[in-house]
Chains A and B, each alone.
Chain A
Amino acid sequence: MMFGVTALLLLVAMALGLVRALRGPTVFDRILAVNMIGTATVALISTLGFVVGRDDLVDIALIYALISFTSTLAVLRFGDHERAQRSAAARHASTDGAHGSSEGGL
């Protein structure tokens, strides 16, 4: 009973986070929402382990926490890398004289 209530509350919170992930104006809002949903998922998996009475699900929650963290960092690093490449290309173009200014890295 109490685990079911907790799982329900966590699912509502995840739905609210999903709204932000779908509407988020910037890509960082989406990453933040996905990160928050990941944390809620860790708590949800642990709770579900108690609902169905299996201890193994706590291990899965542990692994999920680590993978979610790694994926967030990977996406952020990917964005940084792409932005650096693009600003380098803009700088290159501006030294060619094609463009007046090289600002606006994104």
Chain B
Amino acid sequence: MELLRDVLSWVLLVGGGLVAIASGIGLRRLPDLYTRMHAAGMLDSLGALCVLAGLGLQSGASLVTFKLALVYAFLLLTTATASHALGKSALRSGLRPLEGVWPAPGEAQSVGPEAGDRPGGTTGPA
């Protein structure tokens, strides 16, 4: 039973860490703000859930586990609200989402991140 708990905790903790790294890579590589918000949301929901659940398994049924659940509940409420506010604010400021097909690495970068990510650029790439 102890072993099962430890194995499950390992899987959850390392899985959460890997989701966090995937989120960081997505934040680094994705082309525009709205796709990057998807990458960041992955850590906010799944990554935090895995890490906090893995920690909760280690602390057993105690006050600490309850506090960890409380942390996750707050994260669920606040990150969704922050993402909504961020997306609305960015859209209102005139930042258009990228449209069309992202060019392959060998092609011309005329629709590169610089085209759509100009601060306050009111037109998206054609």
Contact = CB atoms under 8 A, between A and B. Distances in A.
B52 to A, nearest CB: 6
A83 B21 CA distance: 34
A6 to B, nearest CB: 4
Contacts of B79: 35, 39, 69
Question: What is the interface of chain B mostly: helix, strand, loop, or mixed?
Answer: helix
21 contacts: A3-B13, A9-B17, A10-B20, A25-B113, A26-B33, A26-B117, A26-B118, A26-B120, A28-B33, A32-B27, A33-B40, A35-B79, A35-B83, A36-B44, A46-B52, A55-B63, A61-B71, A65-B74, A69-B74, A104-B120, A105-B94
Interface of A: 2-3, 5-6, 8-10, 12-17, 19-20, 25-29, 31-33, 35-36, 39-40, 42-43, 46-47, 50, 55, 58-59, 61-62, 65-66, 68-69, 72-73, 76, 79-80, 83, 103-106
